[in-house]
Amino acid sequence: MSDTYREIIYEVIDNVAWITINRPEVRNAFREQTLDELADAFSATREDPSIACAVVSGAGGAFSAGGDFHAMMKLNKANSALWNDRMLKVAMTIRNLPIPVIAMVEGPCVGGGHELMLWCDLVIAAEDSTFGQTGARVGACPTVGATQYIAKLIGERRAKEMIFLCKTYTGAEAAEIGLANVAVPRELLREKTEEVCRQIVGYSGQTIRATKVSLNFDSDALYPSWQHGMELLANIWGTEESLEGMNAFLEKRKPDFQQFRERNKAEMDQYKDAFDRGLNQAEKSRALRG
């Protein structure tokens, strides 16, 4: 474990590891350095067998707004693996830990932050927090957890609504439909989380370790979908359409995604015209066949 973290806070209190994303100036949006520190901190819990569970949260009233666009806009097909692999490393570290990982959600839990929540074992939310996937609004692609897990939790119809329509739920609603385990008033969030942690501390560690592995068996089979999703995502990063969505968000304007549909239509019409005129062949073939 690194002695000093710059992007997160790591502390162990009463046999619980508290891991807090500490970038409140951007609502705890994460960049590559943040993901590296998260992976390191979660891995560090393995070196202290007295730790019974881990809690991940965000500083300053936000869980996480997802990926930091200032970092994501530098991604393209050539370098995307350097981001995607970090996301996968954090996800797999959380899922493979022998202890439960609890997401303590306050404020926005959206985009990649929502996927971080999905990787966790338990979710305790403030009633007025916000759960959502915003990829379609900003030109990103939530294929590192969202497309795999949301449907398992809340059903395929709701999952598609959440992803296609960027539908959001409050923490209270998230608890009702199964995205969160429980929702409490914001001022009671830490207290409720500590209560759950005390329960876990009082239970058998080896039982929880074994049963976490068994409970994850079915969803571990989704690992190939993660790899597939990251390859899809590699073809999204750095495209004009993706950059339009992120720029629009940063500039606080409505994105113009229709321009790309119109451009694709023009290219389709051009192709169909060439097909109809027999231009999809060599000159010598056209001379012979008319």
pLDDT in tens, 77-87: 999 999 999 99
Summarize pLDDT for 260-283 with one digit per residue, the tens. Answer: 999 999 999 999 999 999 888 888
| Single-letter code of the amino acid located at 134 | T
- Do the Cβ atoms of 76 and 37 come closer than 8 Å? no
Assigned token pair, 141: 């692609």
Query: Above pLDDT 70, what percent of the chain?
Result: 99
What's at 194, amino acid-wise? E
Least confident of 12-26, 111-125, 150-164, 228-242: 228-242
Average pLDDT over every residue of 39-45: 98
Please check the confidence at residue 112 and state whether its pLDDT lies above 70: yes
pLDDT top residue among 108 and 229: 108
Is the predicted pLDDT of residue 111 greater than 60, yes or no?
yes
Instruction: Return the number of other C-beta atoms located less than 10 Å from residue 267's C-beta.
Output: 10
Residue 221 to residue 224: CA distance in whole angstroms: 7
CB 131 within 8 A of CB 180: yes
Judge whether residue 65 has pLDDT over 90: yes
- Burial group, residue 72, by CB count within 10 angstroms (0-12, 13-18, 19+): buried
Say how far apart CA 11 and CA 20 lie, in whole Å.
Answer: 9
184 sits in which H/E element: strand 182-184
Residue 264 to residue 239: CA distance in whole angstroms: 14
Question: What pLDDT, on a 0 to 100 scale, did the predictor assign at position 3?
Answer: 61
pLDDT of residue 4: 85
- In this prediction, residue 154 carries a pLDDT of 97
Return the C-alpha torsion angle 34, 36, 37, 40, nearest 10: 160
pLDDT at 290: 62
Q: Report pLDDT digits (tens) over 202-245.
A: 999 999 999 999 999 998 888 888 888 888 989 999 999 999 99
Bridge partners (DSSP) of residue 11 are 18
Q: Cβ(48)–Cβ(12) under 8 Å? A: yes
